[in-house]
A = this chain, B = another copy of it.
Amino acid sequence: MHVEIITIGDEILIGQIVDTNSAWMAQQLNLCGFSVKQISSVSDQESHILNALKEASSRASVVLITGGLGPTKDDITKKTLCKYFNTALVLNEDVYKDVEQLFKERGYEVTALNRGQAEVPANSIAIRNAVGTAPGMWFENNGVVYISMPGVPYEMMHMMEHKVLPKLKAHFKAPFILHHTLLTQGIGESRLAEEIDEWEEALPAFIKLAYLPSVSAVRLRLSGFGDDKNQLEIEFQKQLNLLRLLVSKYCFGENLETLETVVGQLLKSSNKTLATAESCTGGQIASAITKVPGCSAYFKGSIVSYANEIKEHFLNVSKDDLINYGAVSKQVVESMAIGVVNAMNVDYAIATSGIAGPDGGSDEKPVGTVWIAVADKHKVFAKQFLFGKNRERTIQAATLTSLNLLRRFILNELE
């Protein structure tokens, strides 16, 4: 089943915004077993839109259109769709009630301009918009389904998830599909591929693996497609369990989890507390932890000790160690971790000290060298890493690596 996506509007063509809508839609469609044949971004011009519709419908059975549904003059999608299907706009009473309701909630009167929002082409089925004023539209014409949606990401996503995808799946009797993602950290894509090569080669044709790499982490998405739900579920679960075993050393979570939520859950469930002492990461570990709602249950705070005097004064790092070993050393990062456990009276701590660059490197300690320590009230574990020459990537890699080290420390997985 082939789908094409057409995004309408000049913002993408002038490079003002990145087209994240299409990537998200493509991802969701693929997860449902629909393959996207082409994505086209076109301008707010009638002839250009008409041409894009004609071309797309010659190649695909479903054409998804986003954008150009606002109330202003430059939004011409609906008018153009009328011309394309040789029909006219009619008021949809249900949609009009939705618009009225939304305006009432915001304390406005419905104007003539907004009344237009409730008009849809006569040959379409209106798709009501639960989070905005512009309705979506579903057309069937010469065996092709056309769906027009708002370009506002939040509204489009809501409509796709709750209305369009279920309707598409029902309309085309999509195959049964399963997805499951394992999240790994601390191993590169190619080494990971080597380690699971044999298993991957032996996968049945209806189960596929995708590698989704980002800085210092790789997500492994297993997808299964089939008509026999039971058989698929059994084989999928078997392969998923095999993969879990193979990558257990690197896997920190599954599906929508993150290192912050996994570590937070571990702490919360055992009633333990955490603090960080950060030099090169500059507060990014604390910042990541506090992005999770409810983190105040386990996170007490952080000493961002960029200057050495702060390491001495707040974390009880010895001046001698700073002089003898340097701030980027096993001795100092261990003292920082122990220091913040004591100073903030917490159960666990993370400490980092490194050279994020671009300056400050040496032959012995090149840019990208980072020492990370994790500690509790009784012991401390420290390890050195080399993350490369890019400042932002080094900080990001150090942040994720720290959180994963703490996770393994809590689980007694570090020797």
Contacts and interface: CB of A to CB of B under 8 A. Distances in A.
Interface of A: 12-20, 22-30, 35-43, 48, 52, 55, 210, 212, 276, 278, 281-287, 289-291, 293-296, 299-307, 309-310, 314, 343-344, 356-359, 391-392, 395
Contacts of A24: 15
B40 A48 contact: no
A286 B13 CA distance: 36
Contacts of A30: 14-15
Contact of A300 (B12, B17, B48, B310): B310
B26 A14 contact: yes
Nearest to A309: B300
A395 B41 CA distance: 33
Rank and list the top 3 A-B pairs by shortest CB-CB distance, nearest first.
A282-B290, A15-B27, A283-B283
Nearest to A345: B309
Contacts of A283: 278, 282-287, 290, 302, 304
Q: How many copies of this chain does the complex contain?
A: 2
Contacts of A29: 15
A302 B299 contact: no
Contacts of A309: 300
Contacts of A40: 38-41
A108 to B, nearest CB: 15
A303 to B, nearest CB: 6
Nearest to A26: B15
A13 B356 CA distance: 35
B43 A293 contact: no
Given A15-B28, A282-B283, 20 more contacts: A12-B23, A12-B26, A14-B27, A15-B24, A18-B23, A19-B39, A22-B41, A37-B42, A38-B41, A276-B304, A281-B290, A282-B286, A282-B289, A282-B291, A283-B284, A284-B290, A286-B286, A300-B306, A300-B310, A303-B303
Given A12-B39, A13-B39, A314-B314, A307 B303 contact: no
A54 B44 CA distance: 22
A13 B35 contact: yes
Nearest to A40: B40
B19 A18 contact: yes
Given A17-B23, A285-B283, A307 B296 contact: yes
Q: Looking at A13, A42, A301, which has the most chain B CB atoms within 10 Å of its CB?
A: A301
A388 to B, nearest CB: 14
Contacts of A23: 12, 15, 17-19
